[in-house]
Amino acid sequence: MTSKPMVAVVGECMLELSQSSRSGAAPTAGGTLSLSYGGDTLNTAVYLSRLGVAVEYVTALGDDNMSDWMIDQWRAEGVGCDLVARAANSVPGMYMIQTDASGERTFLYWRDSAPARKLFDDPAAAEALFAKIAGAQWLYLSGITLALYSEPARARFVGLLGEYRAAGGKIIFDGNYRPRLWPNGAAAQAAFQSVYQLAAVALPTLEDELMLFGDSDADAVIARLQAWGVAEIGLKMGGEGCLVVTEQDAELVASRQVEVVDTTAAGDSFNAGYLAARINGASAAESAQGGHNLASVVIQHRGAIIAREAMPAQ
């Protein structure tokens, strides 16, 4: 761990097969597919690192050469991998992106046996992992992170999050809701609420919150999260901007209007820009501007992780 402000990012990154190449992609036979990697939390970790934040990625991979390659790629981005567990006789999850003639994308997943899903299955190993995470000032996770684990493992994870917060750690939660990852809405609601009640900062998306909780509008989302004790909220509302609410103030921070090429990782990059600014002493509203600054550039490029030279000036 480092003495700098540090973020531990918990989640899963999978191998990605795609019909179009991405930055850093490894070509496959015949050149018809490209092999890369993808994951919401990994995207945020990479952008945090590029913004000068010391970050450790917390996940599990296999003991295969593709897992070795992924770790090499992450380390090349400055993302710490000391907390990446390696499972024997295992391989990482994988998904394929199929794109039709109109540009519509379809996703196919092979992730049920991925090592990341078992990260908190063993109580002793989970406690040992959190003992290492304890040095991080911030812990970042998403709704997709919560969906990875079995119900007992998720309960264990949330309990350890509570201990982390009690010891002074700050939790930042991106309410990234994907219905197909959950057995039912009630399970997702319970899991999200348990983490929102621990979060120092919540960065939900309005569309996801309305879908999951049935809130009537943005004000209802804010009221619910405040009732659960969230002191700082950055409610992402797409082209309308981000509604930033703290105990002292509420402000709609407008997004930057640009020509959108690809919205992949728009929220992930916004979260990185927001958190990086917050760590460096910016106000919540200023941090939202930092999030917009990065996300507005990312969505002008194809793929989740843009080329380094395309990064906006800090």
Active site residues: 268
Contact 51, 272 (CB under 8 A): yes
Contact yes or no for 263/288 (Cβ under 8 A): no
Using DSSP's 3-state secondary structure scheme, residue 72 falls into helix
User: What 8-state DSSP symbol labels residue 30?
Assistant: G
The Cα–Cα gap between 54 and 52 comes to 7
Cα–Cα distance measured from residue 4 to residue 279, given in angstroms and rounded to the nearest whole number: 10
Asked if residue 314 lies in contact with residue 52, where contact means CB atoms within 8 angstroms, the answer is: yes
Give the Å distances, CA to CA, from 138 to 6, 53, 210: 6, 11, 27
Helix (H, G, I), strand (E, B) or coil at 114: coil
| Contact between 110 and 93 (Cβ < 8 Å) | yes
> Which residues are within 8 A (CB) of 246 and not within 5 positions of it... i.e. 6 or more apart?
231, 232, 233, 284
CB 179 within 8 A of CB 191: no
Find the helix or strand (DSSP H, E) in which 62 lies. none
Task: Kindly state the DSSP code that residue 110 receives in the 8-state scheme.
Answer: E
Contact 90, 113 (CB under 8 A): yes
